[in-house]
Amino acid sequence: MAAQQPIPVYTNLADLYGNLGTTLNHAERWNHLAEEFQKRFGRKPAYIARAPGRVNLIGEHIDYCLFGVLPAAVERDILIACAPRSTPHPPSEPHHEAGSVIAENLQPKYKRQIFTPAPKRKGSVSEDQVHIEDWDLDINTKELRWESYVKAGYYGVLNNYFVGQGLPVPVDILVTGTVPAGSGLSSSAAMVVASTLMFLAVNNKLENNFKGTGDQITKGQLVEMAVMNEKRVGVNSGGMDQAASVISVPSSALYISFFPTLSAVTTPLPPGAVFVCANSLVVSDKAVTAKRNYNLRVVETLTAARILARHLGVRVGKDEKITLREVVGRLAGEVEEEGEMSLEKLKEALQKIDGELAVLKPSASDRLGLTMEEMVEMSGLSEAEFNDVYLSWVEVEATHFNLYKRARHVYSEALRVLQFRQVCLDAAASSSSSPIAVIEALGTLMNESQTSCRDLYECSCPELNELTGLAIKAGAYGSRLTGAGWGGCTVSIVAEDNVDAFIKKISETYGPYKGLQGEELSEVIFATKPSTGACVFKFED
Ligand code: NG1
């Protein structure tokens, strides 16, 4: 199983990229990073950690409801070069303290940062004093700061490997990245995964002793750590991006399911289909808008799940945050200990549940949604219990809650993911299926997904609506927003022989692209090739 594999460590770029043509394209960037590191810090890097961004082909906003999704890693990635800094004894300056970090970024707008983790139980931090319970890194969640994602990755490493034993080394790091920030291609997860990997590698923790078990950390464990790490930045994300960034393999999409545990299997993509990403150039700052957008949706779907469970007579504990996935599972008699029910059974359950969702509608049809009071009452909990379970851990800002629309999106989108995957598997198994019919079928599902994101989940925006519309006019078979939405990128399915003409048409018709050419244009609209997952490059002495 892909999630059980160890993290690959390479000493040769050709092994990483698989063939020389691709290696040459990337080698320049890697060499430049290593040389720049040497210039700035006076020595060679010891490691470079790499984590790719991802494009989600279908399955939006359903990972935190524990439904399966279908992303693929893209070639664009984050690279972090690092080397331990030797500590004078006793440490004479703050940046020589245990675990202190000097972080630089090749992008000049991201300024040099110096930070040192503080043990929560203050006191002496010497190696033989093993009373450190927990570490603090003081992440600022109120504003977007590049180093927050570096700190987030560091958190998991400190709190899993340095509790009560040993001290992290001081380290210099240099970051570079080609995943555009706030574009829905998951630059944040790529940063957090690369940072987690880098701190593991530089502290010699990659190959041994995950959580004191003595075992080497697996890809699945790295995903879990990166998901927890990313929550430190203030977004209650599902696990899709981190899993795609860590586990992806070239040329396939990844069907990632989260229930009852994380699992990932590859899904072949049909030949002749190309996925083109186009950036709307509306920056979606997920962390800063979380209380009105992302985190609000998390709370809406969780509350919808409880109300639905209650209505359907599905068992749910008082303090439990049951998800929409668990509601259908329990309704269909799924036994968690036996693993996930068959996808056929899940499809049937999803088709059936649609008829039950009316219970989530507000009583007057002209109303925007449920008020907080109505929602609390329908949940069957007291106000204090409701606050404790659903609001004590997250900040949300809304006067009305659209549980009906959110649940309809989630269940229909979960079904579309299974249908999309089935079309891909059937096409791979049959030599007679017409390539265009396959692309059309996938495109239709992508279009339905966009309509649902726009009208039911309300996570699109005018520019994304315009761009998906232009994509269809330019010959795409399907087009949808990808990632959290409210800005960021679209993904369109285009026949291979039409890609260049498609990109040209979009560049002429989407207003914000007018006048862009060459590299500037390929920064904002580009065909993606499913790429390989995160890894570490080790420099040999
Ligand atoms: P983006 O905004 O593309 O990184 C976010 C979440 C995903 C998923 C999608 C919506 C993070 C790190 N990622 O993706 O888990 O919920 O939105 O499908 O928050």
CATH code: domain of residue 182: 3.30.230.10
Whether the CB of 286 sits within 6 Å of ligand 1: yes
Q: Please report the atom of ligand 1 found closest to the CA of residue 230.
A: 12
The amino acid present at 102, given as its one-letter code, is I
CA distances from 413 to 135, 204, 372 (A): 39, 42, 26
**Where a domain ends, among 401, 428, 449?**
401
197 and 307 both lie in a single domain? no
Q: Are residues 227 and 300 in the same domain?
A: no
- In whole angstroms, give the CA distance from residue 294 to residue 60: 12
List the strands of the sheet with 525-528, edge to edge. 478-481, 489-495, 273-279, 525-528
Domain span including residue 313: 294-401
> What spacing in Å lies between the alpha carbon of 371 and ligand 1's midpoint?
26
The amino acid present at 510, given as its one-letter code, is: Y
Q: Whose CA is nearest to atom 16 of ligand 1?
A: 61
Pocket mutation for ligand 1, best pick of 54, 63, 410 (most atoms within 8 Å of C-beta): 63
Question: Whose CA is closest to atom 4 on ligand 1?
Answer: 186
Question: From first to last of its 541 residues, what are the pLDDT tens digits of the chain?
Answer: 678 889 999 999 988 887 656 777 789 999 999 999 999 999 999 999 999 999 999 999 999 999 999 999 998 999 999 999 987 666 667 677 889 999 999 999 999 999 999 877 544 444 444 334 478 888 877 777 899 999 999 998 998 888 877 889 999 999 999 998 877 889 999 999 999 999 999 999 987 655 556 678 899 999 999 998 888 877 777 789 999 999 999 889 999 999 998 889 999 999 899 999 999 999 877 777 889 999 999 999 999 999 999 999 999 999 999 999 999 999 999 988 888 899 899 999 999 898 999 999 988 766 779 999 999 999 999 999 999 999 998 889 999 999 999 999 999 999 999 999 999 999 999 888 788 999 999 999 999 999 999 999 999 999 999 999 999 999 999 999 999 999 999 999 999 999 999 999 999 999 999 999 998 999 899 998 888 999 999 998 7
Residue nearest to atom 17 of ligand 1 (CA): 484
- Give 58's strand partners: 70
**Distance from the CA of 235 to the center of ligand 1, in angstroms?**
9
Could you give the CA distance from residue 181 to residue 187 in angstroms, rounded to a whole number? 6
Distance 237 CA to ligand 1 centre (A): 6
Residues 97 and 232 in one domain: yes
Last-in-domain residue among 385, 401, 417: 401
Which residues, 6 or more positions from 525, have their beta carbon under 8 angstroms from its beta carbon?
Answer: 276, 277, 278, 279, 503, 506, 507, 513
Residue position matching structure tokens 């379970």: 389
Span from the CA of 189 to the centroid of ligand 1 (angstroms): 8
Rg of the chain on CA atoms, in Å: 24
346: helix, strand or coil: helix
CB 328 within 8 A of CB 314: no
Q: What are phi and psi of 104, to 5 degrees?
A: -120, 160
Q: How many CA atoms lie within 13 A of 88 on its CB side?
A: 6
Q: Write out the catalytic residue numbers.
A: 241
215 in the same domain as 150: yes
What are the b/e assignments for 292-323, b being 16+ CB within 10 Å?
Answer: ebbbbbbbbbbbbbbbbbbbeebebeeeebbb
The last residue of one of the domains, among 361, 385, 401, is 401
Nearest CA to ligand 1 atom 19: 237
Which one of 286, 394, 457 would you pick to mutate in the ligand 1 pocket, going by the greatest count of ligand atoms within 8 A of its CB?
Answer: 286
Residue 286 included in any domain:
no
Q: Which residue, judged by its Cα, is nearest atom 15 of ligand 1?
A: 238
DSSP conformation letters of 202-213:
HTT-SSS-GGGS
What's the total number of domains in the chain? 2
Same domain, 202 and 95: yes
SS (H, E, C) 407-454: HHHHHHHHHHHHHHHHHHHHHHHCCCCCHHHHHHHHHHHHHHHHHHHH
CA-286 nearest atom, ligand 1: 2
> 498: which 2 tokens?
């039409």
Which residue's structure tokens are 């190309």? 274
Do 302 and 243 lie in one domain? The reply is no
Q: What is the pTM of this model?
A: 0.89
